[in-house]
Amino acid sequence: MKKALKILAGVLALTAIAVGGGIAWHWSFIQRMLTYPEDPVTSVDWYTPMATIPGVEGQSIPRAKTQLSPAALEKIERYAQERKTSALLVMHQGQLVLEKYWRGHDRDAYTNSMSLAKTVLSLLIGIAIAEGNIQSEHDPVAQYIPEWANDDRAHITIEDLLTMQSGLRDYEITDDPFSDIVQMYLGTDAKAAALQVPAQTPPGQTFAYTNANSQILGLVLERATGQQFGQYLATKLWQPIGAQEAQLWLDRPDGNAKPFCCLFARSQDWLRVGQLLLKTGKVDQQQLVPASWINKMVTPSGVEPVYGYHVWLKARTQDGPGYKKRATEPFLADDMFYLDGWGQQRVYVMPSHELVVVRVGERPKAWDDAVIPNTLIRDLQSAD
């Protein structure tokens, strides 16, 4: 967190001392603000409490030689290593062809997913619809969240949340302890914080990447299925794709998961998520997520053409309202999409080239989203 946030947290702590025990539940929140790590992706031990997501042990991703040239692989290795990367993995045609670790990281290390978790949440929504727990993404959210039934949020649909077009208040200032994102991320009741976010504009009119959309989606999933987020994740997705044990950061002991972020997993398991998407929802011969849902996930929404159902579809090559450009050139693969987490956590998926790339690490000074995917694609094209 920024220095100003820590100073303000100190003021709040002094105020709490002066006021007395009436706000005792805020102490965890204040402590988190004061001690938030400089390296929030890899400082895993800082995050407590955690809930374990049981996985499957002993299932390794097959390795093979690749037609990708050593020069291309060395180029992307060098690019990643110079930019605070902890792990860079490449899967080609279902085989692991590159696996590099730096900065004290290894194959068994966890990292904070940040917003990579949002795409996992979207996959779970698709499974819940297929199983009949949710009728449709066009359902009003208020059908599952009656707290929204009697105000402007009654017209928001599940699809509006998935496409970040709900119209919920966009109050995502990370150095303001009263903002929605800080309350959900560092606070002790993420559910309550998300439920109180008001509507700001009518749904379906504007795109605003706000984390309350995903936190509410997680609550919809829990109420529709009758299962906690972690339980549903483990049995419906994580174990079926062969992923290893993972962790979820909770807001308090036995409290709420944060589906908008904070799924702590190993780098190889993000390859498994990417491969599931590349194969349009299949694992081996099992259709785990309906192909129709995967296709919806990677279809541009009406308002924002670079975003689908909690997944990014293109790299911005020019600055736009609320966004800085993410790449110096367009992606060479028209069908490419990617999972994006704060600090340039990435899972690039290129179905037409059978490529999945995972990058995890701390936030670099600069990151060009076109470099790694386009380097690999050019190399494959030159080999044809």
189 pLDDT above the threshold of 90: yes
State how beta strands 95-101 and 282-283 pair: unpaired
Which SS3 state, helix, strand or coil, does residue 117 take? helix
Determine the distance from the C-alpha atom of residue 244 to the mean position of all C-alpha atoms in its chain, rounded to a whole number.
Answer: 18
Domain boundaries, the chain: 37-383
Tell me which of 326 and 12 has the higher pLDDT: 326
24 pLDDT above the threshold of 50: no
Please give the average per-residue pLDDT across 149-156, as a whole number.
Answer: 96
Using alpha carbons, list the distances in angstroms from residue 190 to 29, 181, 194, 211.
11, 9, 6, 11
Q: What is the pLDDT of residue 318?
A: 66
Q: What is the pLDDT of residue 60?
A: 83
Q: What is the pLDDT of residue 106?
A: 96
Tell me if 125 sits within 8 A of 137, measured CB to CB. yes
Please give the average per-residue pLDDT across 166-193, as a whole number.
Answer: 95
Using alpha carbons, list the distances in angstroms from residue 82 to 38, 40, 51, 271, 356.
18, 19, 33, 22, 21
Q: What is the pLDDT of residues 326-338, one digit of tens each?
A: 888 989 999 999 9
Which SS3 state, helix, strand or coil, does residue 339 take? strand
pLDDT tier at 315, thresholds 50, 70, 90 = confident
Q: Which of 196, 204, 238, 187 is nearest to 56 (CA)?
A: 238
Tell me if 349 sits within 8 A of 356, measured CB to CB. yes
Q: What is the pLDDT of residue 254?
A: 95
Q: Which of 121, 163, 164, 161 is nearest to 143 (CA)?
A: 161
Residue 208: how many CB atoms within 10 A of its CB?
Answer: 20
- CATH code linked to domain 37-383: 3.40.710.10
CB hemisphere CA count around 356 (13 angstroms): 22
Rounded to a whole number of angstroms, the CA Rg of the chain reads: 20
Least confident of 9-23, 96-110, 141-155, 332-346: 9-23
Calculate the average pLDDT of the chain.
92
Q: What is the pLDDT of residue 12?
A: 54
pLDDT tier at 314, thresholds 50, 70, 90 = confident
Q: What is the pLDDT of residue 10?
A: 46
Residue 198 CA to residue 180 CA, distance in Å, equals 10
Residue 202 CA to residue 180 CA, distance in Å, equals 19
Tell me which of 7 and 155 has the higher pLDDT: 155
Which residues fall within 8 angstroms of residue 117, CB to CB, at 6 or more apart?
214, 258, 259, 260, 261, 262, 263, 341
Which SS3 state, helix, strand or coil, does residue 376 take? helix
61 pLDDT above the threshold of 80: yes
Q: What is the pLDDT of residue 324?
A: 66
Q: What is the pLDDT of residue 252?
A: 96
Percent of the chain with pLDDT over 70: 91
Please give the average per-residue pLDDT across 252-260, as a whole number.
Answer: 97
1 pLDDT above the threshold of 50: no
Q: What is the pLDDT of residues 92-115, one digit of tens each?
A: 999 999 999 999 999 999 999 999
Percent of the chain with pLDDT over 90: 83
Q: What is the pLDDT of residues 285-313, one digit of tens each?
A: 899 999 999 999 999 988 999 999 999 99
Q: What is the pLDDT of residue 43?
A: 97
Residue 260: how many CB atoms within 10 A of its CB?
Answer: 25
Q: What is the pLDDT of residue 141?
A: 98
Q: What is the pLDDT of residues 218-233, one digit of tens each?
A: 999 999 999 999 999 9
